Amino acid sequence: MRVAYLGLGAMGRPMAANIAARWPTILWNRTTAVAVELAAAHGGTAATSLEEVAAAEVVCSCLPTDVEVAAVAEVLAPALRPGTVWVDHTSGDPAGSRDVARLLEGHGVGYLDAPVSGGTDGAAAATLTVMVGGDVEDLEQVRPVLETVASRIVHVGPVGTGMAVKAVNNALLAASLWAAAEGLVALTAAGVDPAAALEVIGSSSGRSFATQRLLPERVLTRAFPRTFALPLLAKDVRLAAGVLEDGGIDGPVLRLVEQLTAAAAADLGDADHVELVRLVERAAGVEISLPTDAVLPDDER
């Protein structure tokens, strides 16, 4: 199978590198130099125009939102051959993904919304979880390609449901990150060593990805690597609020998380998502990494 990969950002780049190592791959990126550099390092062919992508039987995309996917699909769809399957790894709006599916269907092209979980580390290690919405036959056609990037592939329903599951998952990530930051700041202020607290929570019922990985690896160390931009997390939480709304569900907790995360993104701009912990620290005047009675100097509050 010839594969095309569109969007070589933090997630797309390592996924495309793994695909290019296994399949004949056409690499396309809005900034062409990124595709040229990836092809030189990992194989595959860099496309200088979207039209070159039409030679592929499987088109994968990983763009910021469904809006960018729709714009690219608008240009590309007429050139694609009937029978091609488009696998969209973007975390987007379920309704937007249904629009893209309809557009592609008009050209005989299948569409799966297939957002991923596992972060940039999981993308590099090809251990992602993929949540797939769409036709099961289309999924079976592209499964060998998905197995190149993922260790878990779960069909969750018709087109749009993969996006819905991803949005809710990331809203839970945001909720647990805010809550863990508040809890750890409070424990630090109370004189508890945050590393000891995280060790306890890590083997107790309050644990989450935030307490097991993000706080120990990124906050205690003050490393704060940039792997997943805060505006993208804010977008996911907003989409999750939309999923609740569509279902007529009153969700006060996730609505609050949506407001907090949107405000954090407005405040911190394109920072990594874990940086929202710094807002909690600043408000409390307590840094999670420091010895138990540490208080931030006034100018860092």
CB nearer ligand NDP, residue 7 or residue 194 = 7
Whole-number Å distance between alpha carbons of 229 and 293: 31
- Dist CA 214 CA 147 (whole Å): 27
- Cα dihedral 66, 72, 78, 81 sign: negative
What is the smallest separation between the CB atom of 200 and ligand NDP, expressed in angstroms? 28
Closer to ligand NDP by CB, 7 or 183: give it. Answer: 7
Catalytic residue among 166, 218, 273, 278: 166
Helix 230-246 crosses helix 161-189 at what angle (to 10 degrees)? 120
Q: What residue number has its CB nearest to ligand NDP?
A: 9
Q: Are 43 and 25 in contact (CB under 8 A)?
A: yes
Paired tokens of 254: 């996730």
CB of 214 to ligand NDP, least distance (A): 11
- What are 79's two structure tokens? 């050139």
The label of the residue with tokens 């630090």 reads 188
Measured CA to CA, the distance from residue 25 to residue 56 in angstroms comes to 8
Question: Where do contacts with ligand NDP occur on this chain (CB under 6 A)?
Answer: 7-12, 29-31, 34, 62-64, 68, 72, 90-91, 116, 119-120, 227-229, 232
- Contact between residue 167 and residue 240 where contact means Cβ atoms under 8 Å apart: yes
In terms of CB distance, is 10 or 95 closer to ligand NDP? 10
Per the CB < 8 A criterion, the answer to whether 83 and 108 are in contact is yes
What is the helix (H) or strand (E) element at residue 255, kind and residue range? Answer: helix 252-268
Structure tokens at 39: 């092809």
Instruction: Name which of 89, 94, 157 is nearest 122 in CA terms.
Output: 89
Which parts of the chain are beta strand (E)? 3-6, 25-28, 45-46, 58-61, 85-88, 110-113, 116-117, 128-133, 150-157
Look up 166 and say whether it is catalytic.
Answer: yes
In angstroms, what is the minimal distance from the CB of 271 to ligand NDP? 13
Place of tokens 């039209």: 51
The residues carrying an active-site annotation are: 166
